[in-house]
Structure 1
Amino acid sequence: MGDDPLSSGGGGSSSASAGMTLGECQDLIQKSFTNPMVKFLMENLEKSCCGIGSNFIKAENCKENAAGGFARGIGIVICSNHLQFQDEVDQTVIHELIHAYDDCRAANLDWTNCAHQACSEIRANHLSGDCHFKRELLRGHLKIKRHEQECVKRRAIMSVTANPCCSEVAAKDAIESVWSTCYNDTTPFTRPP
């Protein structure tokens, strides 16, 4: 997460191919607006007086190995060249909308602060479904016990470490320091989806 350039909060893609065209990706983004979680997050952004315009979520070809990213004042980018399927686009949109929601509700959120970013990454990975058992199996992570928490930590460390302001040690320390508070913060959901 960061102001500039776009964060790679969506993590690396699982796709082996070159992805899809910008037009194909934009079509899948439009279809994602019918996803109940996407609708719910967009409604909650509106309720928080952080309405998003029609160009807030857009497809781009990304240089970074990321599925997408969010940047304050810019919006959400979905990396067409790293995604192939509707489910991947939906998951990335949900993940990035959680970052947008966090940015909206926290007046003093500083994306260059490792702990601030760590909190949003923990929330986005936990609440978006990025770490559901099925997804972890597809990534080759076969652990049965505590797989979700370990996945959330692993993916949060990858994203925070990508921030030029945060070393791997700083990322790990930040995640540990905010873990309990941020993992248990399910806002705007009443419980983890």
Structure 2
Amino acid sequence: MTPERCEAELRSMATKTSPIVRFMIEKMREAGCAIDARFFRVERCEDAVVGGFRPPDGVVMCHNQIHDRTTMENMLAHELIHAYDQCRAGKKMNWLDVKQHACSEVRAANLSGDCHYVNELMRGRVLFNVGGHHQKCVRRRAELSVAMNPNCKSAQHAKEAVDEVFERCFNDTAPYDDIP
């Protein structure tokens, strides 16, 4: 996606076409963390990621990795959960602490639609046994993200951090009443 199209899609999603993006922006405002245009940055990224949350600046959107509107909306939903977590924790949030990071990753995977069955099918995950799949997906995606934390020593360390916080963070659905 070109940088210009990425910015245009963002404006559209934030104001009218994406209920989840509009909801998260409103909840950030209600929590005392107003979002302005500078909160979202469109950049060219070398890594194979579509975006990320970069505290304290905001959300980075990798225009060269975003190929469609759905991918962009899913990424924004995920990253805005991280932004919400940063907002409500304030200065107490330490992204280099693998347990704090794990909690936010569990929440983002759980609440953003990352583990929706369509997204899982697109990743090549066959869902013959759907029982418990959502929680397994949330764990897997959180572990992958935490493993990239510079203070995470190994995949096993990431797994242990996710395991330790999973129940509490999976059940924390704020700002939603339940898993959307």
- Partner of 2:84 in structure 1? 101
Q: Which runs of 5+ in 2 are unaligned?
A: none
CA distance in 1, matches of 2:108, 2:63: 20
Larger relative contact order, structure 1 or 2 (CA cutoff 8 Å, min sep 6): 1
Partner of residue 149 from structure 2, selected from 156, 159, 163: 163
Partner of residue 81 from structure 1, selected from 31, 39, 64: 64
CA distance in 2, matches of 1:176, 1:29: 34
Q: Which runs of 5+ in 1 are unaligned?
A: 1-19
- Partner of 1:9 in structure 2? none
2:37 aligned counterpart, secondary structure:
coil
Within 5 Å, give how 1:31-180 maps onto structure 2.
31-33=12-14, 34=16, 35-107=18-90, 108-143=92-127, 144-167=130-153, 168-180=155-167
The residue identity in structure 2 corresponding to 1:117 is H
- CA deviation after TM superposition for structure 1 residue 142, in Å: 0.9
- CA deviation after TM superposition for structure 1 residue 75, in Å: 0.8
Residues 32 and 89 in structure 1, CA contact (< 8 A), matched pair in contact too: no
- CA deviation after TM superposition for structure 1 residue 80, in Å: 1.0
2:64 aligned counterpart, secondary structure:
helix
Moved more, 141-150 or 42-51: 141-150
CA distance in 1, matches of 2:121, 2:43: 28
CA distance in 2, matches of 1:53, 1:42: 10
- CA deviation after TM superposition for structure 1 residue 164, in Å: 1.0
The residue identity in structure 1 corresponding to 2:53 is F
Residues 29 and 58 in structure 1, CA contact (< 8 A), matched pair in contact too: no
CA distance in 2, matches of 1:72, 1:138: 29
TM-score w.r.t. length of structure 2: 0.93
The one-character-per-residue Cα deviations of 1:68-99 (angstroms, maximum 9, x if unpaired) are 11111211001111111111111111111100
- Give the fraction of aligned pairs with identical amino acids, expressed as a percent: 40
CA distance in 1, matches of 2:112, 2:160: 23
Question: Which structure features the higher share of helix residues?
Answer: 2
Partner of residue 181 from structure 1, selected from 163, 168, 178: 168
What is the CA RMSD across the aligned residues, in angstroms? 1.1
Structure 1 stretches of at least 4 aligned residues deviating more than 4 Å after TM superposition: none
- How many residue pairs match? The answer is 174
